C-alpha cells in the first residue's frame, strides 16, 4: 500500500514549527489587545459569490486561483482565498457597523490554487487587521503603524515601507483610460499576460514581474498624475503623519495591490532579511467594499501578512543575530523538569507528581516509556530541562526522590515524595 501524502501545497506544521508560530501569534495578540483591536473568526468556507463580488471577477484570484465546488445543495462554495471579504460579510450580517467603528483582527488558513514555492503554499496562513467605519488619513497611518510595530517587536530588520495612492474610483477610471491608451499604442512590447490584462484589468500590468514590461512602464503615465486635488491632499496628509511617527517610507507609483477593492492609500512592507527585498505585509484602504457586499457606505482600511513568508524572514533574522529578539522567539522552550521514573509504584507516584507540579505552574515532561534509567536520562538531557526528578522502586521504598541538575553544577537534592513545597522551592530558585 502506497504511503499517504498531503495534497501538493498543503503542508504539515510539526511541533517545533508550531511552537514558533504560537510565539509569533502571541506577540500579535498582545499588541492588538493593547491597541484595542478585537479578534474575529470567520468560516473557512463561504459562498463563491462573496469573493466574486468582493475581490473582483477580473482578478487572478477569482479567475484562476480559487478552490470552488458545488456542495450537495448545488450551491457554489469556495475555501476563502483571503480574509477581508469574510470579515466585512460578518460585520454586515451581525450589525457591527451600526455600533460605531470596528477595529478587528483575524488569523488562520487561506487557500489559493497557485504554484507552491518557498513562503507560498496552496494552504497558507494570514494575520490581518481591518478597521471598519474609519475615514481619516490618521486611521490609515494607525493601521500602518500597527504592522510596522508588530514586525519590529518580532525582531525583523531591514524594513522598508512603500506607499502609493490609488485615489478614488473616478481617479482610477480617469487613469485607466490614460493607461490603456498609452499601453495600447505599445501592445506589441508587452508580455503575454500583460496583453491579456490590457482588456480585463489593465492596472494589474503595473505589478507585472516581467522585466521587459517593467522597463516599458518606466515611461508610462502614473496614477499620481491623475489624482484629484482632494485625493492628493489626503495622500500628503498620510505622508506627513508617517513622518511625525518617524516611520520611513518610499513612494512607489507602481504599487497597485492585487485586489479590486482598494482605493486611496495602498502600502507594502518589505524586509531584506532574506537577501533581496521580500514583501511581508500589504494592505490599504477599501472604502467601497462594504457597500459592494450589501452593507451601508462604510470607509475601511486594513492589511494582511503571510505567516509562511514571515517565518522565513524570522528564521533568517534568528540566524543573523543569535541573541536577538527573533532568535529568542523562535527558540525551543525546554521543560523546567524531566521526570525519570520506572516501576509500577514509581510510575503512579510520578504521574501524580507531574500533575501537581503542572498545576503549580511548573513545566514538566513525564517519561512514560518504562525504559531503563540510562535511556531515560539520555532523553532528559536532550529535552534541555534544567532538572531531572528520579523516582524508582528504591525511592518509593525510602519515601524520597532525587532532584538532579542537568545544566549546572548545582548540588543534587533528596526530597520527600509528598513534599511538593520543597520541590517547588528548589525549582523556582533555579528558574
State the pLDDT confidence band at 185, using cuts at 50, 70 and 90: confident
Beta bridge mates, 250: 162
3-state secondary structure of 412: coil
pLDDT at 267: 96
Whether 199 has a pLDDT exceeding 80, the answer reads no
Least confident of 15-24, 108-117, 200-209: 200-209
Please tell me what DSSP assigns to residue 275: S
Q: Does domain 337-430 have CATH number 3.40.50.720?
A: no
pLDDT at 169: 85
DSSP string, 208-259: ---HHHHHHHTTS--GGGG--HHHHHHHHHHHHHHHHTT--EEE-TT---SS
The dihedral built from the CA positions of residue 166, 168, 173 and 177, taken in this order, carries a sign that is negative
Least confident of 130-139, 193-202, 287-296: 193-202
State the pLDDT confidence band at 257, using cuts at 50, 70 and 90: low
pLDDT at 393: 93
Q: 316 Cβ partners below 8 Å, 6+ apart?
A: 273, 274
**Distance from the Cα of residue 104 to its chain's centroid:** 15
Q: What is the mean pLDDT of residues 11-31?
A: 95
Instruction: Tell me the CB-side half-sphere exposure of residue 221, using CA atoms within 13 A.
Output: 18
Whether 430 has a pLDDT exceeding 70, the answer reads no
Whether 117 has a pLDDT exceeding 90, the answer reads no
Whether 258 has a pLDDT exceeding 60, the answer reads no
Beta bridge mates, 127: 107, 305
pLDDT at 275: 76
CA angle, residues 347, 349, 355, in degrees to nearest 5: 100
Q: Where are the domains of the chain?
A: 15-168+228-328, 337-430
Which pLDDT tens digit goes with each residue over 259-290?
566 899 999 999 998 877 788 999 999 998 99
Q: How many CB atoms lie within 10 A of CB 6?
A: 9
* Distance (Å, whole) CA 340 – CA 371: 10
Which pLDDT tens digit goes with each residue over 58-98?
666 777 899 999 999 999 999 999 999 999 999 999 999 99
* Distance (Å, whole) CA 185 – CA 151: 43
CATH architecture of 15-168+228-328: 2-Layer Sandwich (3.30)
Hey, do 15-168+228-328 and 337-430 end up sharing a CATH topology, with the first three levels equal?
Answer: no
State the pLDDT confidence band at 299, using cuts at 50, 70 and 90: very high
Amino acid at each position: 500500500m502506497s504511503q499517504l501524502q498531503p495534497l501538493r501545497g498543503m503542508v504539515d506544521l510539526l511541533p517545533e514549527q508550531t511552537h514558533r508560530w504560537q510565539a509569533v501569534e502571541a506577540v500579535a495578540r498582545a499588541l492588538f489587545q493593547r491597541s484595542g483591536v478585537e479578534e474575529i473568526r470567520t468560516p473557512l468556507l463561504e459562498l463563491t459569490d462573496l469573493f466574486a463580488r468582493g475581490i473582483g471577477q477580473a482578478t487572478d484570484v477569482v479567475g484562476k486561483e480559487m478552490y470552488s465546488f458545488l456542495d450537495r445543495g448545488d450551491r457554489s462554495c469556495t475555501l476563502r482565498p483571503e480574509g477581508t471579504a469574510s470579515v466585512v460579510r460578518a460585520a454586515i450580517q451581525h450589525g457591527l457597523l451600526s455600533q460605531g467603528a470596528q477595529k478587528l483582527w483575524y488569523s488562520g488558513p487561506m487557500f489559493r490554487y497557485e504554484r507552491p514555492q518557498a513562503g507560498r503554499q496552496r494552504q497558507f496562513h494570514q494575520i490581518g487587521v481591518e478597521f471598519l467605519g474609519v475615514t481619516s488619513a490618521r486611521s490609515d497611518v494607525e493601521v500602518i503603524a500597527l504592522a510596522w510595530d508588530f514586525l519590529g517587536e518580532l525582531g525583523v530588520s531591514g524594513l522598508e515601507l512603500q506607499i502609493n495612492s490609488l485615489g478614488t474610483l473616478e481617479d482610477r477610471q480617469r487613469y485607466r483610460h490614460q493607461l490603456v491608451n498609452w499601453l495600447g499604442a505599445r501592445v506589441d512590447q508587452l508580455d503575454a499576460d500583460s496583453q491579456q490584462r490590457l482588456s480585463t484589468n489593465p492596472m494589474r500590468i503595473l505589478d507585472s514581474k516581467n522585466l521587459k514590461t517593467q522597463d516599458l512602464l518606466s515611461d508610462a503615465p502614473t496614477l499620481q498624475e491623475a489624482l484629484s486635488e482632494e485625493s492628493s491632499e489626503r495622500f500628503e496628509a498620510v505622508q506627513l503623519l508617517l513622518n511625525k511617527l518617524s516611520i520611513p517610507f518610499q513612494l512607489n507609483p507602481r504599487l497597485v495591490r492585487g485586489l479590486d477593492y482598494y482605493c486611496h492609500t495602498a502600502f507594502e512592507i518589505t524586509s531584506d532579511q532574506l537577501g533581496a527585498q521580500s514583501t511581508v505585509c500589504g494592505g490599504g484602504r477599501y472604502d467601497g467594499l462594504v457597500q459592494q457586499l450589501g452593507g451601508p457606505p462604510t470607509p475601511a482600511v486594513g492589511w494582511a501578512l503571510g505567516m509562511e513568508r514571515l517565518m522565513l524572514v524570522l528564521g533568517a533574522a534568528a540566524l543573523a543575530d543569535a541573541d536577538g529578539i527573533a532568535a529568542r522567539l523562535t527558540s525551543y522552550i525546554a521543560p523546567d523538569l524531566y521526570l525519570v521514573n520506572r516501576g509500577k509504584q514509581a510510575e503512579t507516584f510520578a504521574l501524580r507528581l507531574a500533575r501537581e507540579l503542572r498545576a503549580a505552574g511548573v513545566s514538566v515532561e513525564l517519561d512514560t516509556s518504562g525504559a531503563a534509567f540510562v535511556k531515560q536520562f539520555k532523553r532528559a538531557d536532550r529535552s534541555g530541562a534544567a532538572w531531572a526528578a528520579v523516582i524508582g522502586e528504591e525511592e518509593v521504598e525510602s519515601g524520597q526522590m532525587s532532584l538532579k541538575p542537568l545544566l549546572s553544577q548545582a548540588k543534587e537534592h533528596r526530597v520527600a515524595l509528598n513534599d511538593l513545597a520543597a520541590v517547588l522551592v528548589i525549582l523556582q530558585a533555579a528558574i
